[in-house]
Each structure stands twice: as C-alpha cells, then as structure tokens.
C-alpha cells in the first residue's frame, strides 16, 4: 500500500498543459483538468506536483493550499 502524500504551503503557480489554450466554448469546463502546481512550503522549499483542478482554480494562486491524494488523483484545497 502506498503512503498518502500531503503538501501544505503557498501556491506559487499553476502550469496548464499547452492543449488548454485550445479550449472552446464547446469544451466541458466542469470536468477536472490536469495541471502542475508549484507549492512553496513553510521551509521555503518549492514542490512541483501533478494535480487535478477546476478550470477556475487560478484564484488559489498566492493562497495557502494543501495538496493531497484522493480517488481521482492529487487535488488542491484552500487552507485557512
């Protein structure tokens, strides 16, 4: 059994796949999308994590987040 990985810190950036720029109005934006998240932890170490997020998740940039494993993949959650 694999160990669940959880990273907490400030979301520095979301790197969207190049194909994301080709999305049109016909594209289903309600589905989770793959991206790479740069998260800086409290020690100042930046982690690059493959995550699945909503298309409107850019609002999380600069906020404290937690990346944790779920059934769908690694997800981001805003922490207070």
Structural domain of 60: 6-17+32-78
Sequence-separated (6 or more) residues with CB below 8 Å from residue 68: 4, 5, 6, 7, 74, 75, 77
Is 27 inside any structural domain?
no
**How much is the pLDDT for 70?**
84
**How much is the pLDDT for 53?**
92
Task: Provide the mean pLDDT of the chain.
Answer: 85
Q: Among 6-10, 33-37, 67-71, whose mean pLDDT is lowest?
A: 67-71
pTM for this structure? 0.81
Q: What residues pair up with 74 in beta bridges, in sequence order?
A: 69
Long-range contacts, 14-18 (Cβ 8 Å, 24+): 14/38, 14/53, 14/57, 14/58, 14/60, 14/61
pLDDT in tens, 16-55: 887 665 655 556 677 888 999 999 999 999 999 999 998 8
CATH number for the domain including 60? 2.40.50
Is 23 inside any structural domain?
no
């Amino acid at each position: 059994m694999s160990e669940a990985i959880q990273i907490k810190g400030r979301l520095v950036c979301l790197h969207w796949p190049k194909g994301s720029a080709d999305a049109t109005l016909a594209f289903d934006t309600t589905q989770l999308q793959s991206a790479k998240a740069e998260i800086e932890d409290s020690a100042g170490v930046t982690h690059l994590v493959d995550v699945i997020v909503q298309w409107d998740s850019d609002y999380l940039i600069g906020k404290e987040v937690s990346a944790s494993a779920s059934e769908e993949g690694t997800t981001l959650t805003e922490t207070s």
